[in-house]
């Protein structure tokens, strides 16, 4: 079955949105460059999770994806 680029992009964005929602995560582009040097990288922030008693059950995490994401993390 052949899938057009537009449809692949739509599916990817849908799955990415679901993943970010699942972890209550945020993704942003950060410029680490200085002056005229632009060095934009992707960063994901996953907030900590607390139970009903206020105990931390999952620590927060920051993931620096960089310009290239290696699937073999």
Residue span of the structural domain in which 31 resides: 24-73
32 found inside a domain: yes
Q: Which of 71, 32, 65 is nearest to 46 (CA)?
A: 65
Counted domains in the chain: 1
15 in a structural domain:
no
Candidates 67, 33, 30; CA nearest to 45 is 30
Whether residue 9 lies inside any domain: the answer is: no
pLDDT in tens, 14-60: 999 999 999 999 999 888 777 777 778 889 999 999 999 999 999 99
Q: What angle do CA 26, 51, 56 make, to 5 degrees?
A: 70
pTM of the model: 0.71
Tell me what pLDDT residue 45 has.
Answer: 96
Q: Does some domain include residue 31?
A: yes
The answer to whether residue 18 sits within a structural domain is no
The confidence score (pLDDT) of residue 70 equals 60
The pLDDT, as a whole number, for residue 31 is 81
């Amino acid at each position: 079955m052949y899938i057009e680029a537009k449809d692949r992009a739509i599916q990817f964005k849908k799955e990415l949105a679901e993943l970010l929602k699942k972890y209550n995560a945020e993704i942003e582009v950060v410029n680490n460059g200085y002056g005229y040097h632009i060095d934009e990288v992707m960063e994901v922030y996953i907030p900590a999770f607390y139970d009903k008693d206020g105990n931390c059950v999952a620590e927060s995490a920051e993931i620096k994806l960089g310009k290239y994401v290696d699937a073999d993390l």
